[in-house]
Amino acid sequence: MKSLLQIVEALGNLMLDHYGDKVKGIVIGGEAIASLDERKPLLILIFLDKVHKISFYAREEIFEYFVKKVESGSIYLEYVKRYGQRPLLYGILVDPSEISFHNPIVLYLIVSGKIIFDKNKIIEKERNRIGNNVIAIGNGIKIGDINKGEVIDL
């Protein structure tokens, strides 16, 4: 896991250098974290201010731009030599205002992911606010026990 986490660190540092205070938080999760296997997919949730008007396709292009910058580094090349493939990194850029949309993949990462950067404690606050209403089960989530016709507040 060390080389994959070093790649994530380099990627995060590049984004922090480029965007500065606009980066509000970074959470990692997915199969790579759950199984501690570097060859499995790693989901990287990045809270970036002012991206709410940008399409999800364009957000993925922004993430890939930074991955391309990391590709030339020695850590990335060592990973490729060791495993014979590029790391399975999947970036999700979300505006902090979109945290309340309760997108399932965002909820999954907030509940079960590892917080590696949380500038204003927005991720920790949301994790505490959600409480036991959202439970991570394997690679999915269970959103509380809801009876038919019942309305709950997440």
Distances (CA, A) of 89 to 5, 30, 53, 103, 149: 11, 10, 24, 19, 39
Q: Are 40 and 71 in contact (CB under 8 A)?
A: no
> Per-residue confidence at 51, pLDDT binned at 50, 70, 90?
very high
The answer to whether the predicted template modeling score (pTM) of the entire model surpasses 0.75 is yes
Using the structure block, give the residue that is written with the tokens 């509000």. 24
> Per-residue confidence at 143, pLDDT binned at 50, 70, 90?
low
Least confident of 44-53, 99-108, 141-150: 141-150
73-127 tens-digit pLDDT = 999 999 999 999 999 999 999 999 998 887 888 988 998 899 999 998 999 998 8
Structural domains for the chain = 2-143 (3.30.460.10)
Q: How far apart are CA 59 and CA 68, in angstroms?
A: 14
